[in-house]
């Protein structure tokens, strides 16, 4: 499935390579909804990063 997605959307591979170092140090990820207004949904993403020893 991933090769099909990468073939249709080449930016996926670029994002994967650029975000990979971030996820190597990711300790937790929180996504919260802030509601919606005028048919626009709002949310917040929190990244807790730490160095693995």
pLDDT tens per residue, range 1-53: 778 888 888 888 888 888 888 888 888 989 999 999 999 999 999 989 887 66
Q: Specify the pTM.
A: 0.49
Between CA 36 and CA 47 the distance in angstroms is 22
Query: Which structure tokens are listed for 13?
Result: 């591979």
Between CA 44 and CA 34 the distance in angstroms is 7
End-to-end CA distance of the chain: 34
Domain count, the chain: 1
Q: Which domain holds residue 44?
A: 2-49
Task: Look up tokens 């990979």; give the residue.
Answer: 20
């Amino acid at each position: 499935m991933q090769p099909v997605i990468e073939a249709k959307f080449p930016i996926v591979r670029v994002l994967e390579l650029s975000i990979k170092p971030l996820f190597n140090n990711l300790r937790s990820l929180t996504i919260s909804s802030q509601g919606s207004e005028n048919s626009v949904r709002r949310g917040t993403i929190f990244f807790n990063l730490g160095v693995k020893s």
